[in-house]
Every structure is written in structure tokens, then in C-alpha cells.
């Protein structure tokens, strides 16, 4: 009885993020083993019990399936089941970190912010102090112009600024990317969005892009920041050709 009360108290500390509709279950033991290895959750032998950790508590969970996303469904979000039957989503990398004995940070299921509570409190106080000290700057920030991006596929002109890499925590690897500048959406009227980035796909590699050259292509732009200077991402650039 006491154990049930303790588990209920722990359960109330978890912010569950249930899967959206149907999710993919494991087809077989071999499928479970293959997926678990690809997520880095175990090596040779499969593991069936995992720990979900929060501040000063931990709970046992099991893997029951996953959701896929990305252009070719290459990325996964794990669906875990708690002892009380609750289902929730969590990124493979976060669950992997939670298995470490040195894991002391506070996570909620599906949350990407990995900063300790005390660090968050310090940041909050610093932000409040900055807000009180510089009210004019805060007001100016609200007046920044927001670009309304098209929701459909568009035609673009842009210049290759540089080639770089971006860490992909889902598969623990460096992803090759292209950083563009002077991106213009060719519409009526034209829309200038400045810098943008995209993955260096097979089609872009085949186009043999060169730094400093300007190209036209089709694609879709989304609000996904790489850094302070590069605020937008180009998805699935196609029909790439150089502009003279």
C-alpha cells in the first residue's frame, strides 16, 4: 500500500506527453533489438527495463513503440510506458542520458531543456533584472518585423555562403549542411528572408554547389533557427540550377 502511494506521488511529478494517435509497435524481438541498438540504449543484449529520472525520484519504464518523423521517417520519438499504464513520448537521447548514474538534471518527458533547476532559477532572476533595467530595449524588441512565410512550396534564389555541419542528437552524428545568404522567395511581391540553412542532401551534392555562386531552386521554408544569424531552414530543395 505504501509503495502504491509513493508511486502515485512520483506520477504526479511527471508531465506526460502522450503519443499523437497511433504509434508504431515493435514487429519482433529482432526489431526491438535493432531499434534499441540504433538509439544507443543497449549493445549486444536487449534491455527491457529503463529508468525515468526527475528531481530526487526515478521511475521504471518500458519501451512499447515509437513515432517516426523527418523527410524519410529516419528520426524517432520513443513511446515509454510507466508502471501505472501511462504512455508518454521521449527523445532517445534523453532516455539514454537518464540511464547514467551521474544524471542529476530535471527532465519532463519530451522536454528538451536539460538545465538544472538552480541554473534555471538563476537565469530567470537574471532575465527579470535585465527586464527591469532596460525597459526601452524590451519594448523595441517587440516591434521587430515578423516575416510571414509561405506555407506552400516556393521558388527561391540564393547564394551559397558556406558548407558546415550540425550536430544531430537523435543519431549522435554530425549532419552536413549548407548555409545560404541573400535568400529571396520569387513571388509577387518578392520576399527577402536573408540567411537560411538546409541539409546537404544527395540532390544538392549532385548539383555540385560552390561557395559564392548563386542558384535557383524549389523548396519550402520553415521557421527553424540554426543560430542568431540564420533563422530559417529550407526543406527539400529541388530543381537546383546555377544562375549566371
CATH code where residue 215 lies: 2.40.50.140
Contact 188, 237 (CB under 8 A): no
pLDDT at position 70, please?
74
pLDDT at position 5, please?
47
The partner residues of 196 in beta bridges, in order of sequence, read 180, 232
* CA separation for the pair 86, 58 (Å, rounded): 15
CA distances to 33, 225, 238 from 36, in Å: 5, 30, 34
Any domain includes 134: no
Contact 19, 25 (CB under 8 A): no
pLDDT at position 3, please?
53
Q: Do both 93 and 191 map to the same domain?
A: no
Q: Do both 105 and 7 map to the same domain?
A: yes
Any domain includes 135: no
Query: Tens of pLDDT along the chain (244 residues)?
Result: 445 545 656 667 788 889 988 899 999 999 999 999 999 999 888 999 999 987 778 899 999 999 988 766 678 899 999 999 999 999 999 899 888 888 765 444 444 444 444 444 545 555 555 555 555 555 455 455 677 888 888 999 999 999 988 877 666 677 889 999 999 999 888 899 999 999 888 888 888 999 999 999 999 999 888 888 899 999 989 999 999 7
pLDDT at position 170, please?
67
Any domain includes 47: yes
Q: Do both 174 and 106 map to the same domain?
A: no
Of 63, 92, 113, the last residue of a domain is 113
Any domain includes 91: yes
Any domain includes 122: no
Q: Do both 91 and 168 map to the same domain?
A: no
pLDDT at position 161, please?
92
Q: Do both 51 and 109 map to the same domain?
A: yes
pLDDT at position 6, please?
55
Contact 70, 60 (CB under 8 A): no
* CA separation for the pair 137, 113 (Å, rounded): 26
pLDDT at position 133, please?
52
Of 113, 139, 167, the last residue of a domain is 113
Contact 107, 114 (CB under 8 A): yes
Shortest CA distance to 26 belongs to which of 95, 81, 82, 99? 81
Any domain includes 144: no
**Residue 17: CB partners within 8 Å, gap ≥ 6?**
88, 89, 108, 109, 110
Q: Do both 21 and 101 map to the same domain?
A: yes
pLDDT at position 242, please?
93
Instruction: Report DSSP state, residue 149.
Output: -
Q: Do both 55 and 105 map to the same domain?
A: yes
Number of domains making up the chain: 2
Q: Do both 107 and 164 map to the same domain?
A: no
3-state helix, strand, coil in the chain (%, to 5): 25, 35, 40
142: enclosing H helix or E strand: helix 135-142
* CA separation for the pair 42, 32 (Å, rounded): 11
pLDDT at position 7, please?
61
Any domain includes 27: yes
* CA separation for the pair 40, 132 (Å, rounded): 45
Q: Do both 107 and 162 map to the same domain?
A: no
Any domain includes 142: no
Shortest CA distance to 191 belongs to which of 227, 159, 224, 221? 221
pLDDT at position 122, please?
47
Domain holding 176, by residue range, is: 154-242
The partner residues of 154 in beta bridges, in order of sequence, read 219
Q: How large is the C-alpha radius of gyration of the chain?
A: 23
* CA separation for the pair 95, 86 (Å, rounded): 16
Rounded to 5 degrees, φ, ψ at 46 are -70, 150
Amino acid at each position: 500500500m505504501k509503495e502504491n502511494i509513493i508511486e502515485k506521488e512520483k506520477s504526479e511529478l511527471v508531465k506526460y506527453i502522450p503519443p499523437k494517435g497511433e504509434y508504431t509497435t515493435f514487429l519482433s524481438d529482432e526489431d526491438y533489438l535493432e531499434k534499441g541498438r540504433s538509439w544507443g540504449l543497449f549493445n549486444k543484449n536487449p534491455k527491457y527495463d529503463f529508468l525515468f529520472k526527475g528531481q530526487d525520484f526515478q521511475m521504471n519504464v518500458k519501451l512499447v513503440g515509437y513515432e517516426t518523423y523527418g523527410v524519410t521517417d529516419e528520426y524517432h520519438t520513443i513511446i515509454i510506458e510507466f508502471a501505472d499504464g501511462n504512455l508518454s513520448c521521449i527523445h532517445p537521447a534523453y532516455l539514454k542520458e537518464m540511464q547514467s548514474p551521474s544524471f542529476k538534471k530535471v527532465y519532463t518527458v519530451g522536454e528538451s531543456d536539460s538545465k538544472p533547476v538552480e541554473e534555471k532559477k538563476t537565469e530567470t532572476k537574471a532575465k527579470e533584472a535585465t527586464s527591469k533595467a532596460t525597459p526601452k530595449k524590451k519594448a523595441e524588441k517587440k516591434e521587430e518585423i515578423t516575416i510571414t512565410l509561405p506555407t506552400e512550396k516556393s521558388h527561391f534564389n540564393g547564394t551559397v555562403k558556406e558548407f558546415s555541419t550540425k550536430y544531430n542528437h537523435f543519431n549522435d552524428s554530425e549532419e552536413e549542411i549548407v548555409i545560404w545568404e541573400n535568400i529571396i522567395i520569387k513571388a509577387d511581391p518578392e520576399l527577402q528572408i536573408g540567411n537560411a540553412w538546409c541539409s546537404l542532401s544527395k540532390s544538392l551534392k549532385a548539383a555540385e554547389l560552390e561557395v559564392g555562386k548563386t542558384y535557383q531552386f524549389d523548396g519550402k521554408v520553415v521557421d527553424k533557427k540554426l543560430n542568431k544569424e540564420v533563422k530559417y531552414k529550407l526543406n527539400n530543395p529541388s530543381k537546383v540550377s546555377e544562375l549566371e
